[in-house]
């Protein structure tokens, strides 16, 4: 039987709306903290009982709500942040829908207490709309008790207390990172779990203090600052990224903000990861905190009630901005940081957090204008990205025997970041000491593999890899399918300095090889190339195919493990690493350098 169309009661409509706006305690925390920030709060205190399911109290020192506006505050579609359709395309605040408080009030026992400037006393209002005087300093206190008591079906589908607590923690991490000038205190079941004082200084100085509580000390100590802008489009990017040897098993340690608002965007995350290229091991993800500043009319935040999804007017420009800026930061000639024996070298540059800036840069929800300070480097978007530095011709593939240079004086090399070579361990690892007394250990094969790889990429970018023709072709036996595969890619392989032709149905003739291989036997290289070509799917991009081939060639030309080197050759390798971008990892993303500081050495021997 057909039911008649009827107008829903206001409370039921609010409960339906709450299903989109408030789906768990973390949503309540997000909505309430954003309201407090919009009110100009510089201090937030959050008290949770039972992960917010039993009780949740947020206290702020913001502007407060006048007594006569309190009933409107818990009414649906009542807000102080927009007034016209045009305002929807010029949103400068976090909230604007006017749905959060009425939605929360419809599914919980809410009490809102507030006192604005100029009002003699505080007033409170509950979910039923009952007003009463109260005692409270300037600011607002919102208590949310028995969340979802009015919608037991929603409460039944909530996860464990631990899972809900982790979801709230994720919201707090975004808050802490995006608003360094706000003091944040969190108590869970009576115990203080977070206390992050307000930070001082410009953008980089203040935000740097928030990295350790969220991403850990290792990231905070070695984060690479990123800055880029496109003034013509009003776009700017600021933030921090991890070095190529510090990474995560998933993308949960990537934080993206647009005009201070935390967002999730696969395209921007792809730009970040693609900028690292072959510097990361397979299946690993970079760590980053990136802030995009855009004109308000260039981003639409009115996509979903949760406001975590946005649409961009020029997404390709943003992709290019992030990709180029991150690539530029990783491509700088960097200095290795000193770490413990158990940790890898995660950056090769001194952090400029403490460097003075020309003016204070305060991040706000709507920072359209270009920043006033001048960072140490500014990526150019009109010119191509810099190519790898020229390969050092003085560093040659070493002979098997030691050279007379073994007796040379090593002290002049100690002033370099990677120091002066002292010798080898197992004829595989170069041990060096720098002028700070740090012990530096380098994997000679992995390091040289990266140097050769960057050299090959430089040659390829310039046109073609130099080849040397063989006096007598080398015949490589293979299966008919493998022969056809190699011949199908013959034209492509020729660009890499490798020329081949058919010899028989089960063999190919190699007539030229990359000049870097010298007089090496090309047969193992061909066998590895066959495996690489078989593993590439039709969906593999052209760049990925090129990288596979170059990496295979580089691996075959590199110094092998268990190869004894003279001190002169060891130092030459270290110097070449210092002038080559991305030399902290090999082509497969594995580390090439670890180090142990003098302080850590002294601790190991109980001298400290």
Roughly what angle, to the nearest 10 degrees, separates helices 542-557 and 444-462?
A: 130
Beta strands in 490-597 (DSSP E): 499-504, 507-514, 593-596
Percent of the chain past pLDDT 70, that is, above it, reads 78
| Alpha-carbon dihedral angle through residues 24, 27, 29, 34, given to the nearest 10 degrees | -170
Question: Which pLDDT band holds residue 326 (cuts at 50, 70, 90)?
Answer: very high
288: tokens are 């980053």
What's the whole-number average pLDDT of the chain?
80
| pLDDT tens-place string over residues 211-236 | 999 999 999 988 999 999 999 999 99
Return the pLDDT at 540: 52
> Where is average pLDDT lowest: 167-181, 190-204, 425-439, 584-598?
584-598
The answer to whether 410 and 420 are in contact (CB under 8 A) is yes
pLDDT of residue 471: 87
Low-confidence winner among 87-96, 125-134, 533-542, 555-564 (lowest mean pLDDT): 533-542
Does 525 score more than 70 pLDDT? yes
262 contacts 178 by C-beta, under 8 angstroms: yes
494-527: b (≥16 Cβ within 10 Å) or e: eebbbbbeebeeeebbbebbbebbeeeebeebbe
**The tokens of 301 are what?**
């935040």
Mean pLDDT of 410-418: 69
Taking only the tens place, the pLDDT of each residue in 329-385 is: 887 644 444 343 333 333 333 333 333 333 333 333 333 333 333 333 333 333 333
Q: Are 126 and 104 in contact (CB under 8 A)?
A: no
Secondary structure (H, E, C), 267-302 = HHHHHHHHHHHHHCCCCCEECEEEEEECCHHHEECC
More confident position, 411 or 606: 606
| Structural domains for the chain | 10-196 (3.30.565.10), 203-354 (3.30.230.10), 390-608 (3.30.1370.100)
Q: What is the DSSP string of 133-163?
A: EE---SEEEEEEESTTTT-HHHHHT---HHH
Q: What is the pTM of this model?
A: 0.67
| Residue 20 CB contacts under 8 Å (≥ 6 apart), including other chains | 304, 305, 306
- Helix, strand, coil abundance in the chain, percent, nearest 5: 35, 20, 40
Other CB atoms within 10 A of residue 217 CB: 10
- 235 bridge partner residues: 230
442 neighbors 432 (Cβ within 8 angstroms): yes
Q: Which has the closest alpha carbon to 444: 419, 417, 426? A: 426
Asked if 125 and 73 count as a contact pair (C-beta separation under 8 A), the reply is yes
- Furthest-apart CA atoms within the chain: distance in Å: 100
What's the rounded mean pLDDT across residues 383-388? 40
pLDDT at 90: 67
Selection from 142, 136, 153 nearest residue 109 by Cα: 142
State residue 18's pLDDT score.
56
Higher pLDDT, 464 or 326: 326
Mean pLDDT over 99-103 rounds to 85
DSSP for residue 585: B
Q: Which residue has the higher pLDDT, 100 or 27?
A: 27
Query: Mind listing the pLDDT tens digit for each residue in 480-505?
Result: 888 998 998 888 888 888 899 999 99
435 backbone φψ class: left, alpha, beta (φ>0; ψ -120 to 50): alpha
Which range of 414-418, 454-458, 468-472 scores highest in mean pLDDT? It is 468-472
Which of helix, strand or coil describes residue 524? helix
User: Can you give the pLDDT at residue 25?
Assistant: 93
What distance in Å separates the CA atoms of residue 545 and residue 472, rounded to the nearest whole number?
Answer: 29
Nearest partner of 310 among 380, 248, 263, judged by Cα: 263
Q: Give the integer Cα–Cα distance in Å for 156 and 279.
A: 45
Average pLDDT for 289-317: 83
Distance (Å, whole) CA 585 – CA 601: 24
Contact in structure between 120 and 84 (CB atoms under 8 Å): no
What pLDDT digit, counting tens, does each position of 111-131 carry? 999 999 989 999 999 999 999
């Amino acid at each position: 039987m057909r039911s008649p169309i009827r107008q829903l009661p206001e409370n039921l409509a609010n409960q339906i709306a709450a299903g989109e706006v408030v789906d768990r305690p973390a949503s309540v925390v997000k909505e309430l903290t954003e309201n407090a920030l919009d009110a100009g709060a510089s201090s937030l205190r959050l008290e949770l009982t039972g992960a917010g399911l039993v009780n949740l109290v947020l206290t702020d020192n913001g502007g407060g709500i006048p007594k006569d506006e309190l009933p409107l505050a818990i009414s649906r579609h009542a807000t102080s942040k927009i007034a016209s359709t045009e305002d929807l395309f010029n949103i400068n605040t976090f909230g604007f829908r006017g749905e959060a408080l009425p939605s929360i009030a419809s599914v919980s026992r809410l009490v809102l207490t507030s006192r604005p400037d100029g009002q003699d006393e505080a007033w409170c209002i509950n979910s039923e709309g009952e007003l009463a005087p109260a005692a409270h300093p300037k600011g607002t206190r919102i208590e949310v008790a028995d969340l979802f008591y009015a919608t037991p079906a929603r409460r039944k589908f909530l996860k464990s207390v631990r899972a809900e607590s982790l979801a709230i923690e994720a919201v707090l991490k975004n808050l802490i990172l995006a608003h360094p000038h706000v003091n944040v205190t969190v108590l869970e079941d009576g115990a203080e779990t977070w206390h992050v004082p307000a930070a001082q200084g410009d953008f980089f100085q203040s935000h740097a203090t928030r990295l350790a509580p969220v991403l850990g000390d290792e990231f905070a100590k070695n984060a690479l600052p990123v800055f880029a802008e496109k003034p013509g489009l009003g776009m700017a990017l600021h933030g921090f990224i991890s070095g190529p040897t510090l990474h995560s098993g998933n993308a949960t340690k990537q934080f993206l903000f647009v005009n201070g608002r935390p967002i999730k965007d696969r395209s921007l995350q792809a730009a970040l990861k693609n900028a690292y290229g072959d510097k990361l091991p397979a299946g690993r993800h970079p760590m980053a905190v990136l802030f995009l500043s855009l004109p308000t009319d260039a981003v639409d935040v009115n996509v979903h009630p949760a406001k975590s999804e946005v649409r961009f007017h020029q997404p390709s420009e943003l992709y290019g901005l992030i990709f180029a800026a991150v690539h530029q930061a990783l491509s700088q000639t960097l200095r290795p940081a000193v770490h413990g024996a158990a940790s890898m070298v995660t950056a090769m540059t001194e952090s400029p957090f403490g460097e003075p800036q020309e003016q204070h840069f305060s991040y706000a929800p709507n920072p359209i204008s270009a920043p006033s300070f001048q960072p140490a480097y500014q990526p150019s978007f009109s010119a191509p990205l810099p190519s790898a530095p020229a390969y050092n011709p003085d560093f040659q593939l070493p002979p098997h025997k030691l050279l007379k240079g073994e007796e040379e004086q090593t002290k002049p090399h100690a002033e370099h970041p990677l120091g002066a070579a002292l010798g080898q361990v197992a004829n595989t690892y170069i041990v060096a000491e720098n002028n700070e007394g740090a012990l530096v250990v380098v994997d000679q094969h992995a390091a040289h593999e990266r140097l050769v790889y960057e050299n090959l990429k430089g040659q390829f970018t310039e046109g073609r890899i130099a080849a040397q023709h063989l006096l007598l072709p080398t015949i490589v036996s293979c299966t008919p399918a493998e022969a056809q595969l190699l011949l199908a890619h013959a034209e492509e392989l020729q660009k890499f300095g490798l020329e081949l032709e058919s010899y028989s149905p089960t063999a190919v003739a190699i007539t030229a090889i990359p000049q870097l291989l010298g007089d090496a036997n090309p047969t193992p290289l061909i066998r590895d190339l066959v495996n690489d070509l078989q593993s590439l799917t039709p969906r593999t991009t052209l760049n990925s195919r090129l990288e596979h081939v170059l990496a295979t060639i580089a691996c075959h030309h590199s110094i092998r493990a268990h190869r004894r080197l003279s001190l002169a050759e060891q130092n030459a390798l270290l110097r070449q690493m210092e002038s080559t971008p991305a030399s902290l990892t090999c082509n497969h993303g594995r580390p090439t350098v670890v180090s142990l500081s003098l302080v850590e050495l002294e601790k190991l021997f109980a001298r400290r």
